[in-house]
Amino acid sequence: MSDSLFKEGGPLGTRRIGPNDYEIHITIPPDSDGMVGRECTDPACSPGYFKVKPGTGITEGHVIAYCPYCRHEDEPGSFFTQAQKDYAIKILENETIKGVDNMIQDALGLGPSNRKKFGSGFMSIEMSYTPSRPNIVSRPLEEELRRDIICPSCGLEHAVFGLATWCPDCGTDIFLVHVEAELAVVRKILGAVDSRRSDLGARVAARDIENALEDVVSVFEAVLKVITKRYLLKNGVSVVEITRILNKVVRNSYQNVETAADTFRAQLGMELFEGISDSDIVELKSIFEKRHPITHNLGIVDRKYLDRALSGEMEGREVRVMVEDVEKALEISFSVLRRAYERI
C-alpha cells in the first residue's frame, strides 16, 4: 500500500517535501485580456478589487505589493480574491479525494474495475468500491473593470475601479496617469465625431460632443474631490468627517469654475487656479457653463444660462458646443488638476 496521498508530478507539479507535507502549484486562470483579479487584504479598503497582468511590471525579486487605492503593503501572494481562494480549495479537495480513492483501491487490491471477487462456485463474495464524485470547479468569477493603466515606472499592466493612486507592483504614485487616461477617453470620443456625423447624422454627433463636455466636467469634479480627500486625510481629518464635508459642504461645487475656486480655497487654503492665466480661467468658465442647459434643459438655452454665462446666444435656441471647445476644456482642466495635485 502506498503511503503517499498525492502522486508527485502531474499538471499541478505536486512535490512531496516532508513526511506529511506536499507542495502543489495551482494557477489562477486569467480573463480574456490576460489579467487576474486581486483584492486588498485590508478589510476597510474600498473598493479594494483590481486586476494585474502577470508577466508585466516587476517580474523578479518582487517581495512587496501594494493596493492601488489605499497603498496597503503585503506580500504579492497575499492579494488573492475570495473567489480565487475558493477555486484553489476545490482543486485541492479534488486532488485529495483522488488520492484517498487511490489509497483505498490500493489497500483493497481492487483493479481498474473497482471490484474484487473472493471464492468461487456456490460460495463467493464480491467487493466493489465507488469512488467519490469530484467537485465541479468553475473558473473564479472576475469583475469587469473599465480602466486599464500601464505604470510608467515599472510597466505593470493593471485595471482598477475609478481613480486609483498607486501602482500595485512598485507603489509609485501614478494618480495623474489615471487622470490622463480618463481624459484620453474623451479625446477618442471627439476624434470619432466626424465619422459619427457621416454615419448617424448631425444630431448624434452633436450629442457626442455634449456628452464629452459632461465627461470633462465629471472628471474635473471627481479629481478635485480626490485631491480634497487626500489633503484632509494628510492633515488628520477623520474619514467620517471627510465624508460629511464632501457630501454636505463640497457637494457639486466642483462642477462650476467659480464655486470650485471658493470651495478649494475654503477646504485646502489654496488657490485652485494658481498659475493659470485669467484668459484660460474665463474660457474654462464659459465652456463649463454650457453644461447647464445640456444637463438640465435638453440643450436649450434658458435665462439662467444666459445670466451665468453672459452669452450672446438666444434664449430658446440650442446651446452650441464645438469639438474645439471641449478640446480646450480638456487642456485647461488637466493643467489645473495637475498643478493642484502637485501642491498637496
pLDDT tens-digit map of 218-248: 999 999 999 999 999 999 999 899 999 999 9
179 has a pLDDT exceeding 60: yes
Rounded Cα gap, residues 282 and 34, in angstroms: 45
Strand 15-18, strand 49-52: pairing: unpaired
Helical segments of the chain, H only: 82-108, 175-191, 193-200, 202-234, 239-244, 257-268, 278-289, 291-296, 303-309, 323-342
- How far apart, in Å, do the first and last CA atoms of the chain sit? 69
Confidence check: pLDDT of 323 > 70 = yes
Check whether 56 has a pLDDT greater than 80: yes
Q: Which residue range is the domain that position 268 belongs to?
A: 179-342
pLDDT of residue 127: 72
Rg of the Cα atoms in the chain? 30
> Looking at residue 300, what is its pLDDT?
59
Residue 178 grid coordinates: 489615471
Alpha carbon distances (Å) from 25 to 99, 137, 301, 341: 16, 16, 64, 43
Residue-wise pLDDT tens digits, 195-212 = 999 999 998 998 899 899
Count of the separate structural domains present in the chain: 1
Query: Which of 1-5, 91-95, 112-116, 248-252 shows the lowest per-residue confidence on average (mean pLDDT)?
Result: 1-5
**pLDDT computed for residue 209 by the predictor:** 92
Spatial separation of the C-alpha atoms in residues 25 and 23, rounded to whole Å: 7
Please report the pLDDT score of residue 24 as a whole number.
83
Q: Count of CB atoms within 10 A of residue 6's CB?
A: 19
Q: What is the pLDDT of residue 99?
A: 77
- Rounded to the nearest angstrom, the gap between the alpha carbon of residue 2 and the centroid of all alpha carbons in its chain is 48
Short-list 72, 81, 66, 77, CA closest to 167: 66
Average confidence (pLDDT) over 73-87:
92
Per-residue pLDDT tens digits for 7-33: 778 777 788 888 778 788 888 889 888
Per-residue pLDDT tens over the stretch 285-319: 989 988 876 665 555 555 565 455 545 554 545 66
Whether residue 333 lies inside any domain: the answer is yes
- Listed residue (326, 317, 322, 325) closest to 299, CA to CA: 317
Does 208 map to a domain?
yes
Q: Tell whether 197 is covered by a domain.
A: yes
Helix axes 202-234, 257-268, angle to 10 degrees: 10
- The pLDDT, as a whole number, for residue 254 is 97
Q: Determine the average pLDDT of the residues in 79-103.
A: 85
Q: Is residue 257 part of a domain?
A: yes
Q: Is residue 86 scored above 60 in pLDDT?
A: yes
Q: Which of 122-126, 210-214, 248-252 has the lowest mean pLDDT?
A: 122-126
Using pLDDT thresholds of 50, 70 and 90, give the confidence band for residue 107: confident
| Neighbour count for residue 303 (Cβ, 10 Å) | 9
Give residue 102's pLDDT.
76
Domain assignment present for 73: no
Closest CA to 33 of 59, 64, 55, 12: 55
- State residue 37's pLDDT score: 93
In angstroms, rounded to a whole number, what is the distance separating the alpha carbons of residues 267 and 334?
20
In the chain, the percentage of residues whose pLDDT exceeds 70 is 88
pLDDT for position 249: 96
User: Which among 218, 196, 331, 319 is positioned nearest to 277, based on CA atoms?
Assistant: 331
Please give the model's pTM, rounded to 2 decimal places: 0.77
Lowest mean pLDDT among 52-66, 128-142, 149-163, 254-268: 128-142
Angular region, 201: left φ>0, alpha ψ -120 to 50, beta rest: left
* Closest C-alpha among 219, 248, 56, 245 to residue 152: 56
Mean pLDDT score of the chain, rounded to an integer? 86
Residue 101 lies in a domain: no
Mean pLDDT on 109-132: 71
Give domain status of residue 77, yes or no. no
Q: Which of 46, 47, 48 is nearest to 38 (CA)?
A: 48
In this structure, the chain runs to a length of 344
Cis ω before 30 (30° cut-off from 0)? no
Q: Would residue 94 count as lying in a domain?
A: no
Query: What pLDDT does 293 receive?
Result: 66
Q: 58 near 167, Cβ under 8 Å? A: no
